[in-house]
Amino acid sequence: MTRYFNPTILAVLLSATLATTQGCVPLLIGAAAGAGGVVWAKGGLEQNFDKSVDQLHRASLGGLRDIKCAVSSGQIRKHLAKIKFKFDDGQEGTINIKAMTERSSRLKIRVGILGDETKSQIVLNAILKHL
């Protein structure tokens, strides 16, 4: 029985492998960057914390008080919390906190309809001072 090597089959297999995995490396790099960092996505600022929903909720209320934002409504449940607030200039914002595990949560801040990154960062910095 004679075995032979067909370079055409190898070329097709390599091309298919490259075509299907070309986005994986940037995806992995992005996932690693987002694991502990702040991400601006779709008009909102997001960050993961090793804190419970309750801890982030209390820190958010304290941070909003520090920057003199009026809290218009707030809800807290075991695995999620939502705070609506307003700046002195009338611009509204929301903070959403969602539990990922018992000891970690994701914080999302959105200011305005389209998202104001500068004001969202101000809110985040105020919250961080209370953690």
Residue 56's domain spans which residues? 38-128
Let me know if residue 11 belongs to a domain: no
Residue type, 45: L
Q: What percent of the chain lies above the pLDDT cut of 70?
A: 73
3-state DSSP call for residue 126? helix
Confidence of residue 24 (pLDDT cuts 50, 70, 90): low
CATH number at residue 83: 3.30.310.80
**Number of domains within the chain:** 1
How far apart (Å, rounded) are the C-alpha atoms in residues 125 and 23? 33
Let me know if residue 66 belongs to a domain: yes
Take residue 84 and report the two structure tokens written for it.
């609506």
Predicted structure pTM score: 0.70
So what's the pLDDT on residue 97? 97
How far apart (Å, rounded) are the C-alpha atoms in residues 106 and 98? 5
Let me know if residue 111 belongs to a domain: yes
